[in-house]
Chain A
Amino acid sequence: MRVGVFKFSSCDGCQLAFFDLEEELLLLSEMVSIDYFLEATSYNRWGNFDLSFVEGSVSTPEEEERIKSIRESSKFLVAIGACAVSGGIQSARNYEDFSMVYSSVYKGHYWVNPRSRPISDFVNVDLEVRGCPINKGALKEVFVAVMHQRSPQLPTYPLCLECKRKGNVCVVVAYQKPCLGPVTVAGCGALCPSFERGCYGCYGPVGKPALEALQEGYERLGLGKENLKELLRLSFNGYNKELREWL
Chain B
Amino acid sequence: MEGKGKGRSYLLKYEGLEELFWRLKENYRLIAPKLKGGVILYSEVESLGELPFGYRNVEMPGFYRLDRAEGFFTYTHPVNSLKAFLHPSELTLMKVKISDGGLEFEVCYPEGNFCFFDVRACDLFALEVLDRVFVHKNSHPDSYYRKLREGAFVVAVNCTYATSNCFCTTTGTGPEAREGYDLLITELREGFLLEAGSERGGVLLESLENKREAREEHLLQKRERLREAEALMERHFEIEGLPDRLYGRMDSQHWKHIEKRCLACTSCTQSCPTCFCFDILEKNNLELRESERVRVWDSCFSPAFATVHRYNIRQSVHSRYRQWLMHKFAYWVDQFDLSGCVGCGRCITWCPVGIDIRQEVKTVIREG
Contacts and interface: CB of A to CB of B under 8 A. Distances in A.
Interface of A: 24, 27-28, 31, 140, 143-144, 147-148, 153, 156-158, 160-161, 164-167, 169-170, 172-176, 179, 181-183, 196, 206-207, 210, 212-214, 216-218, 220
Contact of B352 (A31, A167, A179): A179
7 contacts: A31-B287, A144-B286, A156-B303, A165-B89, A169-B36, A182-B265, A213-B261
B98 to A, nearest CB: 14
Contacts of A147: 288
A183 B265 CA distance: 7
Given A167-B89, A174-B39, A213-B353, A158 B264 contact: yes
Residues of A contacting B: mostly = helix
A212 to B, nearest CB: 7
Contacts of B284: 144, 148
Interface of B: 36-39, 41, 62-64, 79-80, 84, 89-90, 260-267, 270-271, 281-282, 284-288, 296-299, 302-304, 317, 349-354
B271 A164 contact: yes
Contacts of B353: 213-214, 216-218
Contacts of B282: 153
Contacts of A158: 263-266, 302
A153 B296 CA distance: 13
Contact of B90 (A157, A165, A218): A165
Contacts of B296: 165
A169 B349 CA distance: 12
A157 B288 contact: no
A84 B41 CA distance: 40
A213 B263 contact: yes
Given A148-B288, A173-B62, A160 B39 contact: no
Contacts of A210: 262-264, 317
B281 A169 contact: no
Nearest to A144: B284
B213 to A, nearest CB: 42
Contact of B263 (A143, A165, A183): A183
A218 B261 CA distance: 11
A164 B304 contact: no
A213 B260 contact: yes
A185 to B, nearest CB: 10
Contacts of A182: 263-265, 267, 352
A29 to B, nearest CB: 11
Nearest to A23: B286
A167 B81 CA distance: 10
A170 B299 contact: no
B52 to A, nearest CB: 14
A173 B64 contact: yes
B77 to A, nearest CB: 14
A209 to B, nearest CB: 8
